[in-house]
Amino acid sequence: MPPVAGENEHPILHRPYLVSRLSCDCSLAVALECADEQEQAMKHKIIIDTDPGIDDAMAIAYAVAHPDIELLALTTIFGNVRTDEATRNALALLDHWGVSADVAEGEPAPLSMPANQPSYLVHGRNGFGGVDIPASKRQKHALDAVDYIIEATRRYPGEITICAVGPVTNLARLLERDPEVVSRLKSVIVMGGAVHRKGNVTPMAEANFWNDPDAADAVLAASWPLVLAPLDCTMPVVFTPDFMQALARENPALGTPLAAMAEFYARFYRSHLGIGGCVPHDVMALSWLTVPGAFRLQKGALAVITDGPAIGQTLFQPGGTRSRARCFDGRPDHMVMVDTDPEMFMADYMMVMTQHAR
């Protein structure tokens, strides 16, 4: 574990991979200023498109804690809760954790189908398993989620990653409103779907894609740098009660509310799936940026069934293969995270949270 900077030491001094790249004849003050600039440039600028949500809160906490992530904003969407509730929860979490990132409200309903009921059974009536997070006094951003993303990608062309961890209606509307945005985004990471596994809301469908299959199909058809994090990579990881209690001890500010929320979340997993803990689905969309070695990838074309008994099912055609399925015609290949090293993933999450508290 790297040493902790003392009170009178610049923290960059403990990141020698940055300092070593500076000219040896620079003064220390100039060197530190240059290192600060380099470190900032190396950070991942992200917008999390979210429906908070307990596992959303776990993902947001990771973004807040990670030194290599710059959280620009949360954009909100329906799913675990209604969109207005997602906005309230996003503002409350950020205020509770002392984070000034923007919150822009997204679409209130799917592209074309009636909205499903929120996942209160899984996440509790307030989205946080009944854990009280004080309401924020801040207001949501004046721009809606789609216009916020458009403006942000024009300000930072080629620098922003969108981590979408709810239904992807906002992303589908983004493609409609500004098709050129695909060339201004660094990457898009979507937590959704189930490729080689069964679904979690129907035998075929994962919740995010089931909540707006038309949007999911449009997003997967687009030619942008997309990585999919389906149930294949999320279900191998279980945050046990012991893990969550350790998280609360190591980082009380972030970990204590997460551990309390996880108690409700884990009861659902225990009663419905027989799992002794909870699955941190949404964190995968961020961990791909920071610990990609924890995941196994497969490349291929993707589509989503938009009606009938299998609505929301993810279809996958591996790269380099052909079939008579016309739904893949003209579609780009995307990277899919098909498996996870649970020990590496959990060690990284705990390390990031622990070091943040120091």
Indicate which residues carry an active-site annotation. Answer: 51, 281
339: Cα separation from own chain's centroid: 17
Alpha helices in 97-212 (DSSP H): 120-123, 145-155, 169-177, 207-211
Reported as type and span, the H/E element at residue 355 is: helix 342-356
CB–CB of 314/209 below 8 Å?
yes
Distances (CA, A) of 316 to 111, 151, 303, 305, 344: 23, 33, 7, 11, 27
The answer to whether residues 311 and 210 touch, using CB atoms and an 8 Å cutoff, is yes
Tokens standing for 106? 């997204």
Cα separation, 235 vs 342, in Å, equals: 10
Q: Cβ distance 195 to 316 under 8 Å?
A: yes
Beta bridge pairs of residue 74: 48, 103
User: What whole-number distance in Å separates Cα of residue 49 and Cα of residue 166?
Assistant: 7
Beta 69-76 vs 44-50: how paired, if at all? Answer: parallel
Beta strands in 11-159, from DSSP E residues, in sequence order: 44-50, 69-76, 102-104
Helix (H) and strand (E) counts in the chain: 14, 9
Q: Determine which helix (DSSP H) or strand (DSSP E) holds 90, and give its type and residue range.
A: helix 83-96
Residue ranges with strand state E in 12-97? 44-50, 69-76
Closest CA to 60 of 83, 168, 192, 52: 52
C-beta atoms surrounding 305 within 10 Å: 20
d(CA 216, CA 169): 7
Beta-carbon contacts of 8 under 8 Å, excluding residues fewer than 6 positions away, are none
